[in-house]
Chains A and B, each alone.
Chain A
Amino acid sequence: MKQILVMMAAVLLLGQSVLAADEFQEKELTLTNYAKWRDHVLPRNWELSYRRLPWRTSFWGAVIEAQAKDKPILFWAMNGHPLANT
């Protein structure tokens, strides 16, 4: 596995996931089913809830801020970026 960790830090976090049932069955992309496919792929509001938190996208930026405010850091590290492709 390539070892490129991109890191982020924040002062808050919540996380909850729910498996959503979906009976979507269209087979091929056409102008007729375009909107249905688009709406199927686009995330629901609850899937984006973690993005409403004021994450800092750079660990170093969070260190600077936490040092100035004398606060702890909640740090989330993944292969890829937790706020994007991971």
Chain B
Amino acid sequence: MQKEHCKDEDALLFRKFAKQRTIKNGNRGGAQGHYAVTPSGELLAASSSANYKVLVEMMKQGLEKWETLPREKRLLPKSPDPKAANNWRKKENLYPDDGLVLRVIARDQKRERWPDSNLDYAWFRKDEARTLFADKPKKGAKHDVPRELVERLARFHLLDNVHALNYTFFPKEAIEKARLTSTVVQINGELVSLRFEGETRASLVSPKKIGYEPKLLGRATFNLKEQKFVSFELLAVGLRWGLGNCNQRHNPTPALMGIVFTLAGDSQAERIPPAFLSRYGW
């Protein structure tokens, strides 16, 4: 939204105060960082440090300046329009209320430096979630999860973002293996207990050599009456190799990385769209 051509109201307001920021030391790049601002877009204070002491000082400075500003400088001349956000929050509107929303955590086997884990979300529409196990479940029934869904996991979620957001996702042709099998281990009333087992391999050689080859294991419980998962765990562990794009990986040597998918909550913070949602084809 900070692209210069963007005329969305929130982007215009952001650019107004971002331009006022001057940081000599510790800038994390671009406009990243913390800002204390007024609703009218006046910059009160700013920092770009991960040091909490710097942030606390910045907040104190911001509050002091806030106290000196008259109301007409602090606030917009008229109330901002809540409906304006409909123009740019299109991804959020795709949230699958009746589907499956998973929190995705990635971490290296060996913790080298902070931050050493990252978080993303994986979304499944209701009909997609239901294809994770047999249409007519009975104990012992095995079911191959549609390759399309497993490929989606391998391309956009089984990624090395341990240290930072990785802009390198895997193209379809990079997926060499994408298999996930579910087995019904028990049916207790409306509850179907499942096990997952599988593997994926994604390998990209050009423009850069990067890949990940994990084994997959997991378990879940589906409520047939409510038509939703009430528990879910899927664990991927395997070698990752190569570097990424902006992901702060400095050592390309193959090393073990784990990624865990678990049920997300439904708070605002848990409804953030997956990083590569726009590639889902929804």
Contact = CB atoms under 8 A, between A and B. Distances in A.
A28 B79 contact: no
Given A19-B113, A64-B80, A75-B34, A41 B85 contact: no
A76 B13 CA distance: 14
A85 B159 CA distance: 11
A31 B217 contact: yes
Given A34-B235, A86-B164, A47 B117 contact: yes
B111 A79 contact: no
Interface string A8-29: 0000011111111110111111
Interface residues of A, number: 62
Interface string B24-42: 0000011111111111000
Contacts of B80: 60, 63-64, 67
A77 B33 contact: yes
A24 B109 contact: yes
Contacts of B269: 51, 55, 57, 83
Contacts, number: 185
B14 A29 contact: no
3 cross-chain pairs, A with B, having the tightest CB-CB distances, nearest first: A29-B237, A80-B165, A85-B120
A72 B36 contact: yes
Interface of A: 1-7, 13-22, 24-31, 34, 37-38, 40-43, 47, 51, 55-61, 63-64, 66-68, 70-81, 83-86
Given A3-B3, A15-B52, A64 B260 contact: no
B85 A27 contact: no
Of A14, A30, A75, A76, which is in contact with the most chain B CB atoms at under 10 Å from its CB?
A: A75
Given A15-B55, A56-B268, A57-B268, A67 B39 contact: yes
6 contacts: A5-B2, A16-B52, A18-B114, A38-B258, A67-B80, A77-B33
